[in-house]
Amino acid sequence: MKPTAFDSDTVLTEFLTDYLDGELSTAERESFEEYLSKNKDEREFMRKAYKGKKALARLAKHMNDKTSVTA
Amino acid sequence: MEAVSRVELQKMSDEDLMEKFQSGYEQAFNLLVDRYQDRLHNFLYRYTHNHQDCEDLVQETFFRVFRSRHSYERIAKFSTWMYTIAINLAKSLYKKKKRMTKVTIHKDPDDSEDRPMKLEDTDILPDDSLHEKMCMDELEKALMELSEDFREVVVLRDIQQLSYEEIAEIADLPMGTVKSRINRGRAQLQELLESYVYPGTISA
């Protein structure tokens, strides 16, 4: 995986985490999206992290459904 | 000791149950086992990928909770304390297994259980369920391919839905590292999933 600014910048990591959790204010979100629009590698990393998070949410749901069926 | 009914116990928080257990109510411990045994099994399965190991680890975790009940203090959430015990046990088992010599047992051709699949096999899944199962199998495979450092935090966050604070406490890592590993773990997982669909596309 390509190194990105997220590897070394803790503030950017905080932004990304809150962005994926939907915890940014409108102004913060817009400014972060503007940053992503200008930085291809970081945008690609965000896309993968977002998709990975969604995939894991599906797995968690699948596991919970299985647990509630067998409970 | 003041008598407490099962109904009252059931309404209690995990931490209150632990306090009751510390004061001698074994029924409170049983309720904690009821609340957590499935979740703990699922959590450990992401870690070990082996149901038998999970069973043993779940049992051992609850045994340690039972034995060490007086060392629990309300500063930590009960779940954080218990997951910490479980993850330490899983890590020890992982290390132990790595030290063990692998022995492969080949299939016995005379084994009566080793029969060809019949078309009317009731285990065959309809298309949608089969597709869903295949997706979940690939997801699990990708999860197991992540390094232990990433898998641990991703499972705690996205499967167990623990807070970042709890994860930092369990993994004994600074919050910034936890968040960074979670993001990297998710991104790597997605890369792996994409590489299954488009082989040869994964970047170093």
Dig out the tokens for B171 from the structure: 């993994």
CA geometry: angle at B47 spanning A43 and B203, to 5°?
Answer: 30
Note which residues in 143-182 of chain B have CB less than 8 A from chain A.
143, 154, 158-159, 161, 164, 176, 179-180, 182
Q: What would the mean pLDDT of B32-51 be, rounded to a whole number?
A: 89
Dig out the tokens for A25 from the structure: 């204010």
Q: Which domains does chain B have, with CATH numbers?
A: 8-99 (1.10.1740.10), 127-199 (1.10.10.10)
Residue B17 backbone dihedrals phi, psi, to 5 degrees: -60, -40
Q: Does B189 touch chain A (CB under 8 A)?
A: yes
Dig out the tokens for B144 from the structure: 């197991």
Nearest CA in chain B to A17: B179
pLDDT, one tens digit per residue, over B58-105 is 999 999 999 999 988 877 789 888 998 998 898 888 878 777 644 444
Cβ separation A58–B191 shorter than 8 A? no
In the Cβ-directed half-sphere of B8, how many Cα atoms lie within 13 Å?
A: 7
Contacts of A53 in chain B (CB under 8 A): 158, 186
Q: Which of A15-24, B161-170, B179-188 has the lowest mean pLDDT?
A: B161-170
The top-scoring range by mean pLDDT among A22-36, B40-54, B104-118 is: A22-36
Whole-number Å distance between alpha carbons of B88 and B61: 9
Asked if B28 and B18 count as a contact pair (C-beta separation under 8 A), the reply is yes
Whole-number Å distance between alpha carbons of B157 and B181: 11
Q: How far is CA A31 from the centre of its chain?
A: 16
CA geometry: angle at A55 spanning B191 and B132, to 5°?
Answer: 110
ipTM summary value:
0.93
Residue with tokens 């065959």: B124
Whole-number Å distance between alpha carbons of B17 and B31: 8
Q: How far is CA B49 from the centre of its chain?
A: 9
Q: What 3-state class would DSSP assign to B181?
A: helix
Of B136, B176, B187, nearest to A52 by CB-CB distance is B187
Give the helix/strand (H/E) hosting B72.
none
pLDDT, one tens digit per residue, over A4-41 is 999 999 999 999 999 999 999 999 999 999 999 999 99
Asked if B144 and B189 count as a contact pair (C-beta separation under 8 A), the reply is no
Asked if A13 and B176 count as a contact pair (C-beta separation under 8 A), the reply is yes
What confidence tier does B113 reach under pLDDT thresholds 50, 70, 90? low
- Per-state percent for chain A, helix, strand, coil, to nearest 5: 80, 0, 20
Whole-number Å distance between alpha carbons of B155 and B135: 17
> Where do the structural domains in chain A lie, given as residue ranges?
5-70
What confidence score (pLDDT) does residue B154 get? 93
Asked if B25 and B9 count as a contact pair (C-beta separation under 8 A), the reply is yes
